[in-house]
Chains A and B, each alone.
Chain A
Amino acid sequence: MTRLAGAFPLALLWALPLLASLAMLAPAAADVAAWRMALAHPQLWPALALALTTGGLSSLLALATSLLLIGTLWRSAAWGRLQSVAAAGLALPHLAFAIGFGFLIMPSGLVARLLVGGEAPPQWITVQDPWGIALTLALALKESPFLLTASFAVLSRGDAALRLRQECRAAATLGHAPGSAFLRIVVPPLLKTLRWPLVIVFVYGASVVDMALVLGPTQPPTLAVVIWRALNDAEPATNAMGLAMTLLLTGALALALALVVLLLRFGRRAFHRMLTSGPSLLPAPALAGAIIGFAAFAPLAFASSIVVLLSVAPRWPYPALLPPAVSLSAWTAVAPAALWLSLGLALAAALVAVASAVLWFETQPRARDRWVIGMALAALALPQLASAGGQYRLFLPIGLTGTLPGLFLAQLTPVAAYVLIVLAGPYRGFDVRYMVAARALAASRLSAWRRVKLPLLKAPLLTAAAIGFAVSMAQFVPAQLMAAGRFSTLPMEAVTLASGGNRPLTAAFALMLALPPLAVFFAAALLGRPRWR
C-alpha cells in the first residue's frame, strides 16, 4: 500500500502526462510521407553527423576537464571555491555563454581586436565553422560545471566523502601516490554517479538549438536546427517532417549510447587490470589541472563579463576595445509580473519534483529506477517542440491549457526529469548501514530518515532542487505553448524579445535569467556543506 502511494505523485504529476504526450508522437512514426520528405532532405545526413560529433566530443571534453579538476582540487583548500565557481558557471544560461564566448572569438571579437586591429576585422573562421569546433568547445566549457556539480553530489555527501577519504588514506599506506589513489578509489564510484548526467550532457549537446544558432555551422547546420525550423513552420507537412527527423535523431542517440555501453562492457577487464596492478607513483595532476582549470574557467569568466558589457552597449564596432557609448535601456524592459510568476513556478516545480523523487526512491525497489530514468532521458532527449507539443495537444481537450496548473505541469516535466537523473546516483548510493544502525537504536523509520538520512543526503538533495529550479527558470517552449498567451514568464519575455536579434536586450535578459539560479546554487552550496568540516 505504501509502495503504491509512494509512486503515486511521480506517476500522476509526471509520468502519466509524459507518457501520454510521448504517445501523441507515435502516429508520426507511421507517417510515410513525412519520412520520405525527411529522407529526401539534402541536409539530413551531414546534419546528423554534426549533431553526433558535437554532442559526443563535447561530452568527452567536459568529462576529462571535470575529472582533472576534481583530481587536482579534491581535498585541497580550493575545493569549496571550485564549488562556488561551478555553481556560477551552471547558473549562466547557455545562450548568454554562447553570446559572450562568440564575442570573444569571432572575427570582429575581442581576441581579434587585441591581436589584429586595423580598419576591418580579419576573415577568420572562428565561429559558425563548418566542422562545429566552436560549438563543441563552447558546449564542453558550459557542461563542465554541470558535471562538476553532479560530482559534488557524491563527493560532498556526508557518508560517501567519509568513506572515500578513509579509503584514500588506506591506499596511501599501501604505497599509492595521490594521483593513483584518486584514479583507483575515487574515479570508479564517480563515473558510476556521473553516467546519467553524462548521458544528459551528450543528449543535450546533440540536440541544442540556441547555442547552435549562435556558434554552430550553417550549411548544413546541426540536425537540431533543421528540426527546430521544420517544427516551427506553419505548414503541417513540414511539421510532420520535423517529427520524423526527431524520431531519427532520438534513434541515432540511443544507438550511439548502446555502442558506448557495449564498448565499456568489452573494455571492462582491461580497465579493471589497469586499476588493480599494484601501487603506482602517479602524482596528483597539479600542473595539468591548473592549466585545464584556467582554460575551462577563464572563458566562462570572460564570457560572463563580456555579456555584462554587451547588455549596456547599443553599439560596439570593430576595432574598439570598449563600447563607445553606454545605455541601460535594455535593462528596463523587464516586466516584474513575469519575474514573480517565474520564481513561484520554479520554486514550486523544484520542491514538488524533489519530494516526489524522494518518495519514489524510498518506496520503490531499485530495479524500477530504470523505468523512470529511461522516461526522464526520453523527456530530455526529445526536442521540446515535439514533446511539449504532444503535452499541449493532450491538455487542450481537457481544458488545462492557458491555466496555472497546466503551466505548472508543463514546467514539472523537464524539472522532475533532471532531478531524478541527478538524484538517482547519490540517493541509491547511500550506505544503508546507517539506517540499519539507526533502526537498531530503536528509531522509527520516519525519524531515522529525518535525523540520519536527510542530514547526510542534504547536499545532493539541495543540489537537485537547485538544478530543478534553474531548469524551470530556463523553460521557454513548454511554457509558451501551455500558457496560450494567458501568462507570461521571464523566459517567455526574454525569448520573444531575443527573436528580434537585439544583442543588448538578449544579453540583459540572459543575465537576468541567470541571477535567480545563481542565488539558489550558492544557497544550496552553502547549506549543503557537511557540518563537521
Chain B
Amino acid sequence: MPFTLTRRSFASLMAMTPFLSPARAEDGWAAIAAEAKGQTVYFNAWAGSPQVNAYIAWAGEELSKRYGITLQHVKLADTAEAVRRVRDEVKAGRQGSADLVWINGENFHVMKEERLLYGPFAEDLPNFALVDVDGKPTTRIDFAESTEGLESPWGMAQLTFFADGAKLGTPPMSMMELLDLAKAEPGRITYPSPPDFHGDTFIKQALVETIEDRSLLPVAVDKATFTGAVTPLFDYLDQLHPHLWRAGKQFPQSQAQVTQMLADGELLMGLTFNPNEAANLVMAGTLPATTVAWQNRDGSIGNTHFVAIPINAKAKAAAQVTANFLLSPEAQARKADIKLWGDPTVLDMDKLAPAQRALFSDARLPGSVTTTARTIPEPHGSWVPLIEAAWLARYGA
C-alpha cells in the first residue's frame, strides 16, 4: 500500500515532534513552570565543600523568590548513595525521595543503563540553547557515552595540578616531566590510589600520554587488545612508582588527603578536577599565596558534571525548572566566581547578550591556571574497571 499522508497521520506525526514547533515548546515550558510552583525539590548533591553548599543554599533562595520552589539540599558523602536509594525505591515500587541528583560518569552510566532516569528533558530546557555544545562536546557526551538528554550540564572539570611555587620552580607539564621531577625529588610526589576518582584520572592521563593508538580510547574497550594497549602505561608506572611517596608501596586514599599533605609540606604537588580549586584554597587560607596551578602542555582529561532527574521523582516539573535555573547566565556566572566556588561554566560566551557576558569576570587570582590547555575527553567508561583491576593486581598488595 502506498504511503499517503492522511490528516490523522499528519497530526500524529506532529505530536511526535513537539520540538519542531517552538510555540508548542514554549507552551510546554509554561505548563511545567506553572506545575512547579509550590513543589519541593530534594536535590541530592555531594556536600563535602562549604563553598558548594553555600552556592546551593543561594540557588534555593533564588528559586523560592522567583518560582515559588523550595530547594532542599540532601547532603551526600558519595553520589552512589543516591543511585542505590533510587534503585531500591524503584524496585520496591515506591515514590522517589530524590528529585534532582548531581551526577556524572559511572553513576550516570549505571542509572541510564538501569533506566532509573527521567527524560529526555535536558535539551528542552530554555537555557540549554546557551550551552556550548560545540566548543565543549562533553556537555552532551558523559565519559564517551551520549547523555541523550537524560542529564543537564552544570559545570566543567579538567585535570589540573597545583603546587607551592616557592618550592617548585618549574612545574612538570607532561607525565614524562613528572617522572623526571619524581626522580629529582624522591618521596615527595604521589597520587591517590584507585578507585578514588582522582587517582583513576591521574592514571587515565598517563594512559592518554603513553598509549600508541589514541583512537582506541573513545570506544568500548576490547578485552583482547587491552593488555597490549596498556603495556606502555604500566611500563611508565613501573618506572614512576619507586620514586613516589613511600616508594610507591603505599598510596593516599583520596585527593583530599593529597591536598592536606601538600598543605602540611609533606608532598610537593596536588591534583584536582576543578581548575580553580587551588585559587579557591588560597582564598580559604588552606594554601599559601605562592600557589601555582597548571595543566599538562598537550592537554588534560576533562569532563562535565550534570544534574539528572530520577524516574520516580515526585517533583519532576520543579526539578526541571531548577535545572534550567542552574543553567541561567546569572547562576552560571556566580558559580564560576572563584571567590564563591570557581566552577567553570558550560555556557558559550558567544551565545550570551553583552550584559549577560559581563556577569562573568575572568580575573585571575593567586593559584589560577595561567595557560589553559586543550581538553582531552574521558576514555570510554568501560576502560575504568579494567584499568582499576589491573592496577590493583599489580600494586594492590
| Choice from B78, B93, B98, B260 contacting A485 with Cβ under 8 Å | B98
| Choice from B89, B259, B265 contacting A108 with Cβ under 8 Å | B265
> A121 to B264, alpha carbons, bound, how many Å?
9
Q: Specify the chain B residue showing the minimal Cβ separation from A45.
A: B397
Sorting the interface of chain A by its residue count into under 10, 10 to 19, 20 to 34 or 35 or more gives 35 or more
* B288 close to chain A: CB less than 8 A: yes
Contact residues in B for A362 (Cβ distance below 8 Å)? none
* A430 close to chain B: CB less than 8 A: no
Contact residues in A for B92 (Cβ distance below 8 Å)? 393, 396-397
> A419 to B221, alpha carbons, bound, how many Å?
53
- Contact present for B249 and A498 (CB under 8 Å): no
- Contact present for A401 and B251 (CB under 8 Å): no
- Contact present for B285 and A325 (CB under 8 Å): yes
> A502 to B195, alpha carbons, bound, how many Å?
20
Q: Given A315-B263, A318-B266, are A500 and B392 also a contact pair (CB < 8 Å)?
A: no
Q: Given A128-B250, A130-B250, A219-B193, are A485 and B80 also a contact pair (CB < 8 Å)?
A: no
Sorting the interface of chain B by its residue count into under 10, 10 to 19, 20 to 34 or 35 or more gives 35 or more
> A314 to B284, alpha carbons, bound, how many Å?
7
Q: Given A130-B250, A396-B92, are A497 and B265 also a contact pair (CB < 8 Å)?
A: no
Contact residues in A for B93 (Cβ distance below 8 Å)? 397
* A282 close to chain B: CB less than 8 A: no
Contact residues in B for A402 (Cβ distance below 8 Å)? 97
- Contact present for A219 and B265 (CB under 8 Å): no
- Contact present for A501 and B255 (CB under 8 Å): yes
Min distance, Cβ A492 to any Cβ of chain B, angstroms: 7
Say which one of A156-164, A226-234, A291-299 lies at the interface with B: A226-234
* A170 close to chain B: CB less than 8 A: no
> A42 to B47, alpha carbons, bound, how many Å?
32
* B148 close to chain A: CB less than 8 A: no
Q: Considering the complex, which residues of chain B in the window 48-66 have a beta carbon less than 8 Å from any beta carbon of chain A?
A: 48-50, 53
- Contact present for B80 and A497 (CB under 8 Å): no
- Contact present for B397 and A218 (CB under 8 Å): no
Q: Specify the chain B residue showing the minimal Cβ separation from A500.
A: B48
| Choice from A47, A123, A501 contacting B187 with Cβ under 8 Å | A123
Min distance, Cβ A108 to any Cβ of chain B, angstroms: 4
Q: Given A130-B249, A234-B83, A317-B263, are A42 and B89 also a contact pair (CB < 8 Å)?
A: no
Q: Considering the complex, which residues of chain A in the window 119-146 have a beta carbon less than 8 Å from any beta carbon of chain B?
A: 120-121, 123, 125, 128, 130
- Contact present for A496 and B97 (CB under 8 Å): no
- Contact present for A485 and B42 (CB under 8 Å): yes
- Contact present for B264 and A213 (CB under 8 Å): no
- Contact present for A213 and B250 (CB under 8 Å): no
Tell me whether chain B's interface is mostly helix, strand or loop, or mixed.
mixed
- Contact present for B286 and A315 (CB under 8 Å): yes
Min distance, Cβ A163 to any Cβ of chain B, angstroms: 49
- Contact present for A503 and B97 (CB under 8 Å): no
- Contact present for A108 and B264 (CB under 8 Å): yes
Say which one of B22-30, B68-76, B169-177, B225-233 lies at the interface with A: B68-76
Min distance, Cβ B101 to any Cβ of chain A, angstroms: 11
| Choice from A314, A393, A493 contacting B286 with Cβ under 8 Å | A314
Contact residues in A for B75 (Cβ distance below 8 Å)? 488, 492-493, 496-497
| Choice from A41, A121, A393, A503 contacting B88 with Cβ under 8 Å | A393
Min distance, Cβ A498 to any Cβ of chain B, angstroms: 7
> A346 to B13, alpha carbons, bound, how many Å?
60
Q: Considering the complex, which residues of chain A in the window 350-388 have a beta carbon less than 8 Å from any beta carbon of chain B?
A: none
- Contact present for A219 and B250 (CB under 8 Å): yes
Q: Considering the complex, which residues of chain B in the window 89-108 have a beta carbon less than 8 Å from any beta carbon of chain A?
A: 89, 92-94, 97-98, 106-107
Contact residues in A for B395 (Cβ distance below 8 Å)? 219
Q: Given A235-B110, A318-B264, A501-B48, are A396 and B252 also a contact pair (CB < 8 Å)?
A: no
Min distance, Cβ A219 to any Cβ of chain B, angstroms: 5
- Contact present for A396 and B94 (CB under 8 Å): yes
* A247 close to chain B: CB less than 8 A: no
- Contact present for B265 and A318 (CB under 8 Å): yes
Q: Considering the complex, which residues of chain B in the window 78-132 have a beta carbon less than 8 Å from any beta carbon of chain A?
A: 78-81, 83-85, 87-89, 92-94, 97-98, 106-107, 110
Q: Which 4 pairs, one residue from A and one from B, show the smallest C-beta to C-beta distance? A: A501-B256, A500-B48, A485-B74, A318-B265
17 sampled A-B residue pairs with Cβ under 8 A: A107-B266, A108-B264, A121-B265, A123-B246, A130-B249, A219-B193, A219-B249, A232-B80, A239-B84, A314-B284, A315-B288, A318-B264, A480-B81, A481-B85, A485-B97, A486-B42, A496-B46
A interface residues with partner B (beta carbon < 8 Å): 41-43, 46-47, 106-108, 120-121, 123, 125, 128, 130, 213, 217-221, 225, 229, 232-236, 239, 314-319, 325, 327, 329, 333, 392-393, 396-397, 399, 401-402, 480-481, 484-486, 488, 492-493, 495-503, 505
Q: Name 16 extra pairs, CB < 8 A, besides A219-B397, A220-B396, A316-B264.
A: A43-B396, A120-B265, A213-B253, A218-B251, A219-B250, A232-B81, A234-B110, A315-B288, A319-B265, A327-B285, A333-B50, A485-B98, A486-B97, A488-B75, A497-B53, A498-B77
